[in-house]
Amino acid sequence: MHLQTYEAAGLEAPVETWGSGKRTLVFLPGLGVDPREYRRGFERLASALTIIVPNLSFRRARALPHSIDGYLDFVTALADDLAPDAMWAGHSFGAMLAMLGKAPAIACAPSVPARVALPRMFGRAIRMQAREYLGFEGRSAIGYAARTMVEYVSTAAIRPRSLFPITAALNAAADTRPPRCPDAVVYLSKRDELYRRGEYEAYFETTGASGFLVVEVEDGHDWPITRPERVAARICSAARHLSRTSEARRGKGSPQLP
């Protein structure tokens, strides 16, 4: 893993680079989540792809954007500079950012605009973390749930502008932020505790993104962290599909997900 510091859009953040594959992937973690939580997945994925990961976590970043557009501006500048031909992938909030970008996207349990009041969303998050803390999502989920709870609570108390403007912006109509990516593979979790199936359906149907390839997996919302053994297979499969889709548009093949 190679570490460097990158500055753009008025922000400075550490950037990790994993692997040395011919194809490059910009990976965007969940809101406030440190890339180290995904490292066991990156270690498996690094043999197939080069992975570029900005660290915009609550734990490490000195300053964070206070808006979705602020995050998107930083990531777009980073990708244009370091990996202009890369696909984007992400988890949760990072997955939504990936779909808002201009590159083909792999969205793992994406956050989406939905009319869910903040207390209800916090209640869902608490239930999700309770399942993880009790080990229902695997042993690795226990430590992750504990760390995440501490970081979110401390951020809410010390740096509320790094958290609440983003969560408030997501409490919106389904068509508020339509995807901009040309194609996407979206992994939805059947046991997703943060979003209901109807909320996802409303988002993809009302934004005209129903043509994306949607794959349901038997996991919880945080599977890219809690089930790292599944990360490489799913992301590589999605990357192959997106490559075939691009080739098919140029008359060179037929897009299928193996």
CATH assignment of the domain containing 107 = 3.40.50.1820
Nearest to 133 by CA among 108, 150, 109: 150
pLDDT tens-digit map of 187-244: 999 999 999 999 999 999 998 887 899 999 999 999 999 999 999 999 999 999 999 9
Position 254 in a domain: no
Position 148 in a domain: yes
Looking at residue 258, its pLDDT comes to: 46
In terms of residue numbers, what domain contains 197? 2-249
Position 63 in a domain: yes
Bridge-partner residues for 91, per DSSP? 108
Nearest to 28 by CA among 122, 121, 93, 82: 93
**At a CB cut-off of 8 Å and minimum separation 6, what does 236 contact?**
45, 48, 49
How many domains in the chain?
1
CA distance 34 to 59: 7
Position 256 in a domain: no
pLDDT tens-digit map of 90-149: 999 999 999 999 999 999 999 999 999 989 999 999 999 999 999 888 888 999 999 999
Measure CA of the first residue to CA of the last residue in the chain; give whole Å. Answer: 29
**At a CB cut-off of 8 Å and minimum separation 6, what does 127 contact?**
193
Position 257 in a domain: no
Query: CA angle, 116 as apex, 115 and 119 as ends, to 5°?
Result: 150
Query: 199: part of which helix (H) or strand (E)?
Result: helix 197-206
